[in-house]
Amino acid sequence: MGAPLWIIHLPTTLTSLEEATDLAVALRDSLGHVTVIDFGETTLSEEDKQFLRTRVWCDARGDGPDRCRRRDQHDGPCAQ
């Protein structure tokens, strides 16, 4: 077994799922070039319900290391 991977929990002052999703999209768009961040695994949760997570993006992997860039539970085929 390899070294453990680490998760960064980044609390916000946002008060809606839509706002939190918009921030996740903005972070992916601005930091997508940072190869140590796996944005495909991004989930959101309420502060006091962190065990209930909402997936942001489809987690399907493409031919290479990239994942689908569409929202979770999207219609139609995946997009790389």
What integer is the mean pLDDT of 37-59?
90
What integer is the mean pLDDT of 7-25?
94
| 68 and 60 Cβ atoms separated by less than 8 Å | yes
Confidence of residue 66 (pLDDT cuts 50, 70, 90): confident
| 40 and 71 Cβ atoms separated by less than 8 Å | no
Placement of tokens 């796996």 in the chain = 38
For residue 63, pLDDT over 80 is answered with no
What's the alpha-carbon Rg for the chain, to the nearest Å?
Answer: 13
| 41 and 56 Cβ atoms separated by less than 8 Å | no
What's the pTM value of the predicted model, to 2 decimals?
A: 0.80
The pLDDT, as a whole number, for residue 31 is 95
In terms of C-beta density within 10 A (0-12 exposed, 13-18 middle, 19 or more buried), how is residue 34 classed? exposed
The pLDDT, as a whole number, for residue 34 is 94
